[in-house]
Chain A
């Protein structure tokens, strides 16, 4: 399983902690999207832990961006709480490191 809802997620306070592991690539992206979709309506603060991610490609970034657009639109937040060097390099290459700090609450 590439995506896991962590303990600490709480529907009453609206916090959803998701951790991604193994790979977030074109091969798994569709199932990840479906898993996230299941949670989307029930929480309004999303926190992503990407530190255990072993592989990532642009589809993963794209998913994060799509998710970000979606939560921002609905007045929710998305924050990456933990990441490893691979992910941070990826975000840097695309010049979007500051996109997921969770500061841009509208």
Chain B
């Protein structure tokens, strides 16, 4: 099997399973019967597609398992079974298991290991229980019962080989092809265990045209490594005028039923041939043929006396075939339609290629900055004009390249619906998760990395935030708690908010605990924000009862680290009895930003342009008389500022010669000023990460290469803003800076 197509299979399964989970979660919210049936049909299709794809790759474990799920879904669709909470949970578990099976097979394991097999068996057993329960009163769904009676006893046949059924077209010989060559070729793919020649189609001697081909074969091929694709390729040239059915090893018995129905020969004879060539055990054959008899009996029982048994079999055959064909045709149409619309909308690209592209664009940006620098030295207006044009294009290319990596956050959000559902059930709480801003776009790498921290925060909100129903009722709140998840853009960042209407963070409790654990000193004066942020300290947990979900004090510090590694930042607002809001601010992208270039001393720095509010001149009159005070009056507002030359330790004498400027930045609603020596203007900034040595360097978030080839540091605005504010409050000397 080719790696590429296998990867596509894995990707597709992931998408499908994601869709399945989404559909399952929504299932409980639907109240109309038709709505449920529609949703179930959708689920059925989703699982069916997974099954089909897995069958193509000969992944029998997946096929069998999916089939069980499908059977139960089928029952629901036929309204023989009602959906309840338990069933949805079972489907969710099945979905998870399926995801594991897919992962397992992607790793190249065709076999299940013991633990997987155990889960597999358990789930199938649970699913089958639903099938058995309803079979007591099932009577008239011939199509269903036919498959179910056989399936329940036996999911797949015992045959470990491929079964290939061939009926060659009349013109095969005339077209210069010889059936023997196909068999010979099959012999190269695997070991041909048996060949049965079917000569039933050869007419009487007088009608026999020796140049026509009337031959058919039933072949048993043992080849555990082959895929259906490979085998299909064997018959590529004759597929148009031949009937070829290929059944993978341990195929589901349905496949054989369908094959037998599709072939022109009489069922009984085919059954015997299949037994003879080892495709089926005689028990399996009897099972198949009995089912069909059973159906015919049913038909006669339903009062159609005209139908004599042999004809009845044929009639049923026709009916079954007819229904299947119609179903298949409808499905095919849908698939084609879907494929077409998908093809127009999206194209799958390897993430690495995309990464490469963005890297290259980054180099292009640096290169063009270099060219521009040299061009500006040459007094040539035409060159300048061309350069301007080029720069504009580069900028557009950059934006487009970055937008390629942008993904809507909705899919990630939807995952949490399930988390909230399960966690709240477990804790005996009733909680709604409200999602908004799902269409907000964010860099794919950031989305991937923010998933786990978000999960943790949401669990915390459900676990610690929302009170238990009786406590809520006593507090005069609705019994049902609400957690909302929101995403929106705010000045060059994306903000993800997790809001709960729970008890809020108890400041005194947090403080007490922190002192207990020695995280802060006893007599330390802390602002509300600082107290809230204590929950992100390592080894901190205030939950009185440690549940298996949260409360172990592991994680929140990891959450903070993860967010900070993305150059992000967490803010907490909370009110006792009202609830809490956690706001995560993240940069839109990790690759290239619009920067604002400044000079401090002899060095150049970059401030992300989106965060820059304005630039003002630092006039003497603005500065208060007291030299030590680090704030100015900006149009009646207090603006704390910091001299970057002091922070970065560049010599002050140099600065004196210049008229200083203040860059006013805003982050998370807080404003601060950076005093710089010179404003150099906009700069397309390709963010280069700093090495490990600089990991603990506060105030710098990365570096970039300027057109001249010099390195400029990118200022970590959130960190710096905090530092400015803390500085103003004289708390800069706190040994452990808390933010």
Residues of A near any B CB (own CB < 8 A): 26, 29-30, 32-33, 37, 40, 57-59, 61-63, 65-67, 69-70, 73, 90, 93-96
Contact = CB atoms under 8 A, between A and B. Distances in A.
Given A58-B179, A70-B205, A63 B197 contact: no
Interface in B168-197: 173-174, 176, 178-180, 183-184, 194-197
A94 B197 CA distance: 6
Contacts of B180: 57-58, 90, 93-94
Contacts of B204: 69-70, 73
Contacts of A33: 208, 210
A65 B178 contact: no
A64 B184 CA distance: 20
Contacts of A30: 210-211
Contacts of A94: 180, 183, 195, 197, 217
Contacts of A70: 204-205, 208
A94 B178 CA distance: 12
Nearest to A26: B173
Given A58-B215, A62-B213, A69-B202, A26 B174 contact: yes
Contact of A59 (B194, B195, B210): B210
B205 A40 contact: yes
The A contact surface, by secondary structure, is helix
Contacts of B197: 65, 94-96
A97 B199 CA distance: 14
A72 B48 CA distance: 49
B210 A95 contact: no
B605 interface: no
Given A32-B210, A58-B179, A59-B213, A66 B184 contact: no
B173 A59 contact: yes
Contact of B211 (A59, A67, A95): A59
Given A66-B199, A70-B205, A94-B183, 16 more contacts: A57-B180, A58-B179, A58-B213, A59-B173, A62-B215, A63-B210, A66-B205, A66-B210, A70-B204, A93-B180, A93-B184, A94-B180, A95-B194, A95-B195, A95-B196, A96-B197
29 contacts: A26-B174, A29-B210, A30-B210, A30-B211, A32-B210, A33-B210, A57-B178, A57-B180, A58-B180, A59-B210, A59-B211, A61-B215, A62-B214, A63-B210, A65-B202, A66-B202, A66-B203, A66-B205, A66-B210, A69-B199, A70-B204, A70-B208, A90-B180, A93-B180, A93-B184, A94-B183, A95-B195, A95-B197, A96-B197
Nearest to B208: A66
Contacts of B195: 93-95
Contacts of A66: 199, 202-203, 205, 208, 210
Contact of B173 (A57, A73, A93): A57
Most central of A57, A58, A66 by chain B CB within 10 Å = A58
A29 to B, nearest CB: 4
For chain B, the bracket of interface size reads 20 to 34
Contacts of B196: 95
B343 to A, nearest CB: 41
Contacts of A95: 194-197
A40 B179 CA distance: 27
Interface string B477-492: 0000000000000000
A30 B210 CA distance: 6
Contacts of B178: 57-58
Contacts, number: 68
Interface in B206-248: 208, 210-211, 213-215, 217
Contacts of A96: 197
A26 B180 CA distance: 13
Contacts of A59: 173, 210-211, 213
B102 to A, nearest CB: 39
B211 A37 contact: no
B210 A62 contact: yes
A74 to B, nearest CB: 9
A93 B183 contact: yes
A101 to B, nearest CB: 16
B218 to A, nearest CB: 10
B176 to A, nearest CB: 8
A77 to B, nearest CB: 15
Nearest to A89: B180
Contact of A62 (B184, B202, B217): B202
Contacts of B202: 62, 65-66, 69
B179 A65 contact: no
B207 to A, nearest CB: 10
Contacts of A32: 210
A27 to B, nearest CB: 9
Interface string B138-179: 000000000000000000000000000000000001101011
A63 B195 CA distance: 19
Most central of A61, A66, A67 by chain B CB within 10 Å = A66
A90 B199 CA distance: 16
A90 B180 CA distance: 8
A59 B175 CA distance: 12
A34 to B, nearest CB: 9
Identify the 4 closest CB pairs spanning chains A and B, nearest first.
A70-B205, A33-B210, A29-B210, A95-B195
A46 B576 CA distance: 104
Contact of B205 (A26, A57, A58, A67): A67
Contacts of B174: 26
A46 to B, nearest CB: 12
B39 to A, nearest CB: 51
Nearest to A90: B180
Contacts of B213: 58-59, 62
A57 B177 CA distance: 10
